[in-house]
Structure 1
Amino acid sequence: MKGIVLGYLRDTVLVGLCIGAIGFVGSGCAGPGGSESAGRDDASAGPRADSLAVLWTSGDPAVAEKVCFMYTHNAKKAGWFDRVVLIVWGPSAKLLSEDERLQEYVERMLADGVEVKACKACADSYGVSDRLAELGIEVKYMGRPLTRMLKADGWEVLTF
C-alpha cells in the first residue's frame, strides 16, 4: 500500500511540474500544432529576463528526461532565453555519471548551446567529478555562482 501511495504522489508531482512548465511557457511547448518559437511573449509588460539557470537536483531519471531536460533544451533552442545554464547539483550528479541516455541528452544540449555546470562539492561527495568533466561538463564549486544568479537582475532560476 505504501508503494502505491508513493507512486501516486510521485506521478502527481510530475503532472504538476508538467502543468507548471506548460503554464510558464504558455503555448510555447512544442507539440501537435505548436511551434517551439511560439513561446516568446514579446507583448508582455516589464523587462525580459534573458538568462535562465536550471537547478537540477533530482535523482529521478523521469524528472530529468521528461521535465527538466525537455524544458531546459527547448528554452535554449527556441530562444525563450538567450543564456541557459543547467546546474547539476546533488543526487543528479550521481545519476548523470551512470545513465548513458541522460549523458547523450546532455551532449545534445551542449551542442545546442546550453551551458552545463556541476557542483564540485556535490560531485566529489559521490566520487563522480572526473566522470562529469569527461562528459564536457564544467565542474566547479557552485555555491557562490548560484547565489549571484539568485540575487542578480535578469536571471530566472528554475529548480527540478
Structure 2
Amino acid sequence: MENNNTDKKLTILWTNADPLTAEMMVFMYAEASLTYKWWEDVEIIVWGSTAKLVAENKHIQEKLLDIKAKGVEVRFCIACATKIGVVDEIEALGFELKPMGLPLTEVLKTNGKLLTV
C-alpha cells in the first residue's frame, strides 16, 4: 500500500448540530489528534445545520476558533450556509466558505480517512 497523504490526514464531516456532540466528540477528537500526533493534518468540514449552530452559539464559536488556531483546518459548505442564511456570520468569524461537494468527493474517491459525526 502506498503511503501518501491520505494516510496522514483525517477529514471530519460534521453534520450533527448537537452542541455536546460538537464539543465532546468533534472538537475534542480533532484537537487531540493534532496534540498527540495521531494524524498529521485534521480538517473539519462544517455541513448543514452545524453552520447555524456555529453562527448562533458563542461558546461553540470560541471552541471552533480555538482548535482552528491550534492547526485544525475548518471549512464550511457555502451552499449550506447560504440556504440557512448564515454566510455573513460565518465570514465575520473568519472561517473559509466554499463549495464542499467536490472536496468531499475527492476524499471518498482517494480512500481518504473520513469520520462522519
TM-score scaled by length of structure 2 = 0.91
Counterpart amino acid of residue 75 in structure 2: K
Counterpart amino acid of residue 57 in structure 1: T
Cα distance in 1 for residues equivalent to 2:17 and 2:89: 17
* Correspondence 1:11-160 to 2 at 5 A: 47=3, 49-153=7-111, 155-160=112-117
- The structure richer in strand per residue is 2
The C-alpha deviation readout for 1:37-71, integer Å capped at 9, x for no partner, is: xxxxxxxxx95820110000011111101111111
Two-structure CA RMSD over aligned residues (Å): 1.5
The size of the alignment, in residue pairs, is 114
Of structures 1 and 2, the one scoring higher in RCO (CA 8 A, sep 6+) is 2
Cα distance in 2 for residues equivalent to 1:112 and 1:145: 22
Cα distance in 2 for residues equivalent to 1:134 and 1:125: 17
The C-alpha deviation readout for 1:73-130, integer Å capped at 9, x for no partner, is: 1112221111111010001000010111111111111111100000000010111112
Segments of 4+ in structure 1 off by > 6 A? Answer: none
Cα distance in 1 for residues equivalent to 2:84 and 2:65: 21
Gaps of 5+ in 1: 1-45
Cα distance in 2 for residues equivalent to 1:137 and 1:96: 11
